[in-house]
Structures are given as structure tokens and as C-alpha cells.
Structure 1
Amino acid sequence: MTTLVPVLGDQLTPTISSLAAAKKADTVVLMMEVADETTYVRHHKQKIAFILSAMRHHAAALRKAGWTVDYVHLDDPDNSGSFTGEVARAVERHATTRIIVTEAGEWRVRAMLDAWETLFGIPVDILNDDRFIATHSDFEAWAASRKVLTMEYFYRAMRARTGVLMDGKDPAGGQWNFDKDNRKPANKDLFMPQPLAFEPDKVTREVIDLVAARFADHPGDLDGFDYAVTAEDAARQADTFLAHALEKFGDYEDAMLTGERHLWHSILSPYLNAGLLLPLDLCRRAEAAYRAGKAPINSVEGYVRQILGWREYMRGIYWREGPDYVERNYFGNTRQLPDWYWTGDTDMHCLSEALGQTLATAHAHHIQRLMVTGNFALLIGADPKAVHLWYLEVYIDAYEWVELPNTLGMSQFGDGGLLGSKPYAGSGAYINRMSDYCGHCRYDVNKRVGEDACPFNALYWDFLARNEDKLRPNRRMAMPYRTWDRMKPETRVETRAQAAAFLDRLDASGPPY
């Protein structure tokens, strides 16, 4: 009797529930590199390289720990190209009598797992993914009695449940949220901490060569690939962040600087989402830094909120709303993203910086994603599903369960306010306040119209005008609409004409600048 345990590319945790439920003596661990998973969107080359190399290193670690591992390489001539096809081959190869698997992270993969028992005629045990703190039923129980699913209250419930940053029944520091303290612009700092860079080993170099040859038409560069691909190196990166960057993370988590890719961000999300690090462990270690006086409460609370609050909340929303969530389009937007989202070739410096970094490293921090690339897409009226697919393609930490609600719901307001009480839309003023980008740009952030006017300015007011029927009733939008109302009629006409001319160039010729 042989038990088969398929371990997927985002399940690279030695204590994952499927392995915890199996016995080494009669178990074969199946790991599969399959074409379907590398091409269902055109993933960034570094994203593919990271996942494949991390999988190969994880397989080696499992073997060293005593597991029997059946590993199917992408270029295996008999590779069927799909999870189901490879499980079918493994079932026959090992005379499998039972399958144990940890639940899938995405709807499309869940549909595959749900079909296996019928397809193969053997028991298939699908276990909860206990790396997450909230189960699906936990989130459903929290959401069931609420008319509005405000993340802040879910986050407080998670804090109370886990005891993280709690002093008895009270939040550490006397309040739940220190976000108002975390909106400082940053200045160039010669002592700004830098994350570790990992030189690719033989396994990673082989993967990079494979990706370069097989996925040459995918976005992004492979030059300079320096991500951790083992749990040990991911842990070293976490140690570096906690020791050197956490202290000022909160102050500058929304800041942006030309040429600075990381600032005080952790760059740990790829490892969390692949399973090389565990979320609750990171939260407790951040809390320990606060308790030891090594990091202030605003930084630690801000970091914990991203993991224990926002990350868990995104997963809850994704599974609660169902597979049709991706089709929601509150504003009815249909415009496609400009070609330069795949090249970074634009004179708008903020976008050039965010896009250039994304293409070079498959990473950009959350404000670059939300208030630069996402904000621009929202203002031009881009199709939210198209925007979602772009984010899923280009970011190394993008898995649909976390990326889709963040992009379609939070960034593009495609769900009409399920996630956010108002759109994350802004003019150039916000970018100017939180970055040094505007000082390096050929456009004038203080101008609304004219050849050298910052495109964000006219686009912002045009966004409000064309979506007035849906946004004016929103009480959180009262202030911008009062400002719009105070403008002279000719000013409003001129502003919208400026936006229309920009959008015409965008539609007519691809890259407009």
C-alpha cells in the first residue's frame, strides 16, 4: 500500500499538513514542474526561476529528511504538462492506494484536486492548510454576522485570538492601529539597510538557463537574480530584516525614492507565499523585537497588520467571494494597459521607476503597486481583470488568492467597495508628497493642463467626473467633489479635455510618451 503526497509549488513547508498526516515508510512525495503552471499567465522569468529552484531545493531537503521523493522536471520528455496528468502517471507508477494533499491556494487548482477521487478511484484526503491562522470556516463565521467586512475589525479579532501584540485583553501600546504614524516621506540615507543578495548555486543556475531558453517571450529579466531559494536562506533574510530594517519600517512603509528598490521593506512575501517562511512565526518575532525595545510599536504593529490582518483577510475574501469575483467590474472599465507596462518605457518618472524595478526584479513594494501602477490603471479606466492578470504575471509573490482581491478589489475598486470604502485614486500630489519622483520628472506635478502638466492631475479629476453617479453618494468622496464643484465651468472643461487628449494618445498609438 502506497500513499502519494503531491506537494505543490506554494507548499514548500516541511511541516505542511499533508506531510504531517503521512508516514515516511509507505509514502511517496510527488513534486511536479508542469507547463500549465508556468504559462497560464506569462509569469515573470524571475518568478518562474524562483519557484522552480525553490521546489528543487525543497525536494532535496525532504530527501535528506528521509522522505521518498518522486520529482518530475519540466523538461522530462514524458511530462504531461498538468498536475492531474502527473498525478495520474504517479498513481500508476507507484501503485498508489491513497492520496493525501493539502488544500489548494487557488480556485482553478482546487477544481483539479476535487476531481481526483473520481478520476483515480482511490481515496483523496484534502487537508486544511494550517500555515494560515484563519481557516475558511473561521473567516466565514467572522463575516456572517457583518454587513460590512471591514479589515480592521477582522485584524483585531486575529490579534485577540493569537495574543500577538496584546497586553491581556488590550492592544499593546494602548491602541490597535498606528497607521497615522506611518506616512513619512524618506530622504536618501547612506545607512539605509539592504536585504541580503544570494548568489545562484548550481541548481539555480540550471533553472535560470532553462527559463531563459523556454520562456524567452515572458516579461522581465533574469540578470541579477538573487532571491533566496531555500528555507535556510529565507530565514537569514528574515533575520536581516528584523535586526536592521524593522525599526524604521513603519515610519517609511509608504515612502518611495528614486533608485531605492527596498527602503525598509522586508522583501519576505515571496518566501511567505511559497511556504519557506511561516506567517505567525514572523509576527511573533516582530513582537519580540518590540518587547525587547529593539523596534517601536508603530513599526511592529504596521508589519504585523500586513501579515496577520491584511494577508489573512485577502485569503478570506478570495475564498468567500468565489471564482466569479475576477469578473467584477464596478465602473465598467474596458481600456487595456499601455504597452509600456511591459517595458517601463515612459517619461512619467514614477511609473518608469515602479515598472523598471518590477521588470528587473519581479518586485515592487505595496505603495508603488497601489498608488503608482494601480492608481494610473484606475484613472485611465483600465479593465480590472486585465490589470489583475498583469499583476499576477509580473510579481514574484503574486498568487491569485492574495493578488486578485488586492488588485481587483483594493486597487481597482472593481468590487464596488467590498474591500475598500473608497477608491485608492489620487493626483500627482500624493506621489509628490510620498516620494522624490516628481523632482526627476519632465512633467510638472503642480500643473493640471498644458504640454508639461503631470498626467495624473487631469486624469484624477476626469476619473471623478466620469464616475460621478457612482462615487458622489460616497460620503468619503465628499471633499474631492466639493473641490470639483468649486472649479469654474471652463476649468472643468479644460481639465477633462486634457485628460481626453491623453487617453486618445494612449489608445491610438500604444506608448503615448
Structure 2
Amino acid sequence: MTTQYHKLRLILGDQLNASHSWYKQKQPNILYLIAELPQEVNYVKHHTQKIVAFFAAMQAFANGLQSAGHQVLHLTLDESQAHKNLPELLAAIMQQHQISIFEYQRPDENRLLRQLRNLACEKIEYDTEHFYLPFDEFDTYLKPGKSSKMEFFYRKLRKRFDILMDDQQPVGGKWNYDAQNRKSFKPADIKQLPEPLVFANPVKDILSRLQRHQVVSFGKCEDNLLWPINRSQALELLKYFCRYCLPLFGQFQDAMTCQSAHSWSLYHSRLSFALNSKMLSPKQVIAHALAAYHQNANIDLAQIEGFVRQILGWREFVRLVYWQNTEQYSQLNYLNASRTLPSYFWHGKTKMNCMQQSINQSLDYAYAHHIQRLMVIGNFCLLTGINPEEVDAWYLGIYIDAIEWVEMPNTRGMALYADGGLFASKPYASSGAYINRMSDYCKTCYYDVKQKTGRKACPFNSLYWTFLNNHRPTLGKNPRLAMPYRNWDKMDKEQQQAIIQQGQVWLDNLQEL
């Protein structure tokens, strides 16, 4: 006999918020649906760890709801494969159980929001109750198609939510301590890097399921997953970060090294998957970090402010930019970039050590920190004019925390400047000098970071100047690029020509770098 339900409630894989008001009462006439969806594993090629982590977390969340007394239908690919998309699956379940009312939490990706809002049934939309900034207040902070500085947005939110504030002034008298947070590692610093906290979640059954359904994925994935898959593990990771990493997080947040077994983790929290799947809330994360700051004299203001800025500033701002520009954002290509992504993005075999380290780490862990993503891989894609659609797909697929709302503005906007400045006030382009300053990658590289031209000259150097020269009609009036253009103009014509010729050689032979 089929159980009679009054409502069907959908829980997406990035809506694993156990504190949501939905779950405050046990209602036997409400059926909760958590489903592994073919459309979600196939719309882009994902890293295997990413798929496995979401599926494992969804299973754990379903088990937790059931243990709490809720009625849950958890479908794996074995059960959902017969339905070509989410609307078809929902229609079948509602018909099977004779359910007339459908409820859902607002998706954070526009494609899913369109799917659910277009359903031909009685439906109710709820907020996810996760972010600081309410969805219906976006227009008061940013108008569609307009640019705004994250720093001003961040200050408004600091005031509104009374975070690191002393009345209406920032604690310490400054809003931003970024200038103090740009240290690179010395050998002694590398020896003191904390061992990362990792987990051993068995996922062999999920891997077998992916193979059985011929899901196309890439990257490395062991039978035991190192990422947190439930709130308990996520909280453990948060507490570990606050105790062992936060005291030095800020000053080393932009640094990179390849000289340690812990080079992939450093002092970063690695909480982005737990946050973006909503196992943890940003308010919860900031509260724990602030408590650690007040209790631990080794955590100074620059460290905590740098971390708060990532969660309260960048994360909320990225979401704002995405939703205020979502209808046209995926089509923007301000610099008319059109080259194809080189094959080493899929296997990491390149002579550029910075790219090799960053890509291989991404393939091994489905993770890289923000400077590796922005100033190494993203910078390379910007300088070489890689098609934003291909770059979007790669970033969206490879990183365990990548969901379109957070990936697209960071990639297409900040890294590629494809939005023409809606997100960032200038392209984040740099030569090899920046990478050399913030890492030890260049020390063991095939190429020489000190050279601009020649067979073994660092490709980033000539590519940087060639990029600026080629895009001068578009970028030449940007005040934030005035200094590099002045430096370019100081070079003699012969040197400029040699650099441009070298840059073009690299552009014509990207696959060989």
C-alpha cells in the first residue's frame, strides 16, 4: 500500500542545511526527496571527487533526516536513471504518491531555478536560509549590468551584521588588512606547515555506481574520500582550522609552495565544499572564527579580518554579481578570447612548473586555493585568450566547491575579465614576477623567470606584455593599468618587438609549453 503524502519537498545536493526551518517539526504527511540526478552529473564533465563528495553527503543527509523521524525518499542513479531530467522525475513521484503540492528551496543556480519555477503544479518556493544577504534585497546593493567594488559592499555588511565593529567604526581603525597578508614562505615557514585534517569516508560503492552508469568524469579519487560529508565532520574541520591554521592564515593566504607534503592545504580552511553544500552556514563559520580570535592571543586582527573578508565579503559579493547579471553573464566575452584550452589542463604535463603544480594539485584533490586559481591558472587563461566557455566548464568541473553561482563570476569575471569590469576593476594579469614573489615554483622550473625572450624564457613574461599591447585599445584608459603601460612605453621599440614576437610564438604553440 502506498503511503499518502500531502506534500513533496525537494532537497538538492547543495541544500544540506540541517538547521533549515523545514525540519523543526516532524510531519509524516511530507515526503522529502533527495536524488542523484543524471542531468547534474552530465551537464558538465566533473572531477570524480566532486561527484562522489556530493553523493556521499546527500546519502548522509538523507540518513540523518530519517533518523530524526522525517519521511525521506533517497534515490541513487540506479532509481533515477529512467528520468531524463528533474521535472520528469518530480512528475513521476508526485503521480506515484498522489501528491498535489510541491515545495522547494530556491536553487542557487539559475538553470535549476528556471526548471522548478516552470513546473506545472501547485508549488511554494522557500529561501535556503543560508546566506547573510536576503535574495530580495539584491537591488539595494547592486543594479543589474552595473559595476560595484567588493570593498564597499563588504563594509556595508560589516556594519549591518556588526562583525569586527566598534560602534560604527571597524575594530582596529582599518577595514582591510590585506597589505599585511601577502607574505611568501621562507624555508623555515615551510617546515612549520600544519598537517591537514583529512577524513576517510568509504565511497567505493559510489565509485562503482558511477562506473556502472558510465558517468564521464576525470581526476583522481581513492576508495576513501578525504573531504567532510556531514555536519559533524565539517565542524571538526572548522575547529581544526581555527586552532591550527587561523593564527597564520592571513599573512600566508596568498603564498604557494611545492616543497612540502602539505603544499596543497597550507593554512587554508578548505571549508568551501562544506559551505557551498550548506552543511555549514557562513554565520556559523564566522562565529567560530571570531570566538577563536577572542580566545587565542596568537590570532591577530589581520588574520581574522582576512578570513572574514573571504566569507562575508567575497562569497556574498560573488553571489550578488551572479544573480544580478545571470541572464547575460554566461555570454560575456569582453576581450573576444577564442583559443582552445590546452590538453595539459586535463593531465598536468607541462614544462611550466607553476601550472604543473596547480593543475596536478587540482586533479589530485579537486581543490586549489584562490591564488592558484586566479593568479596562476586564471592568469594563464587570461593572457593566452582562452575561450571563456571552455574555462568556465573546466573550473566548474574540476573543483569540489564549484557551483555556477560562485564559479562563474570568479572565473569569467575576476580571472578572465570577460565581463568588462562588472566584477573586478581591472584584469588580474601578471608576469612571472608575481608568481616568483609569492611561490617557490620558479626555482625548479624549466623556464627562467628572469628572462622575457628566448627558448627558455618564462612564457608568462612575454605573454603579459603581449596581452597588454594587444588589448591597449580596450584597456589602455583603465587607470589601474596606467603604471604597466608606462613601463611598456619606456622600453625601446626593438625590445618591445622582440617581446611581442616571443609572446606570439607561445600563443602559436600553447600545447607545447
TM-score bracket for the superposition, by shorter chain length: over 0.9
Unpaired runs of 5+ residues, structure 1, are none
Answer yes or no: is 1:325 the counterpart of 2:326. no
| Structure 2 counterpart of 1:8 | 12
Q: 2:304 is matched by which residue type in structure 1?
A: V
After superposition, residues 82-481 of structure 1 pair within 5 angstroms as 82-116=85-119, 118=120, 120=121, 123-144=122-143, 148-188=147-187, 189-201=190-202, 204-214=203-213, 217-223=216-222, 225-258=225-258, 259=260, 260-292=263-295, 293-481=297-485
Separation in 2 of the partners of 1:82 and 1:231?
A: 29
Unpaired runs of 5+ residues, structure 2, are none
Residues 35-44 or 220-229, more deviating: 220-229
Separation in 2 of the partners of 1:500 and 1:17?
A: 57
Separation in 1 of the partners of 2:90 and 2:303?
A: 45
8 Å contact kept, 2:145–2:324: no
After superposition, residues 70-81 of structure 1 pair within 5 angstroms as 70-76=73-79, 79-81=82-84
| Structure 2 counterpart of 1:49 | 52
Separation in 2 of the partners of 1:81 and 1:25?
A: 29
Separation in 2 of the partners of 1:423 and 1:145?
A: 21
Separation in 1 of the partners of 2:15 and 2:291?
A: 27
What do the CA deviations read for 1:213-268 (whole angstroms, capped 9, x no partner)? 54564220113631111111111111100110011000000000005101100000
Separation in 2 of the partners of 1:225 and 1:257?
A: 24
TM-score with structure 1 setting the length: 0.95
Separation in 1 of the partners of 2:171 and 2:207?
A: 45
What do the CA deviations read for 1:166-219 (whole angstroms, capped 9, x no partner)? 122111121110000000001343331122111123xx2211232345456422
SS of 1:438's equivalent? Answer: helix
| Structure 2 counterpart of 1:40 | 43
| Structure 1 counterpart of 2:512 | 512
SS of 1:256's equivalent? Answer: coil
8 Å contact kept, 1:18–1:100: no
Change (3 A) 1:238 1:112: same
Q: 1:262 is matched by which residue type in structure 2?
A: S
Residues 346-355 or 153-162, more deviating: 153-162
Q: 1:26 is matched by which residue type in structure 2?
A: N
Aligned-residue offset at 1:502: 1.1
SS of 1:346's equivalent? Answer: coil
Aligned-residue offset at 1:93: 2.1
Separation in 2 of the partners of 1:279 and 1:217?
A: 32
TM-score with structure 2 setting the length: 0.95
Aligned-residue offset at 1:322: 2.2
Q: 1:330 is matched by which residue type in structure 2?
A: Y
Answer yes or no: is 1:61 the counterpart of 2:64. yes
| Structure 1 counterpart of 2:494 | 490
RMSD: 1.7
Separation in 2 of the partners of 1:43 and 1:471?
A: 34
SS of 2:251's equivalent? Answer: helix
8 Å contact kept, 2:37–2:80: no
Change (3 A) 1:491 1:77: closer
Separation in 2 of the partners of 1:443 and 1:228?
A: 38
Separation in 1 of the partners of 2:320 and 2:144?
A: 15
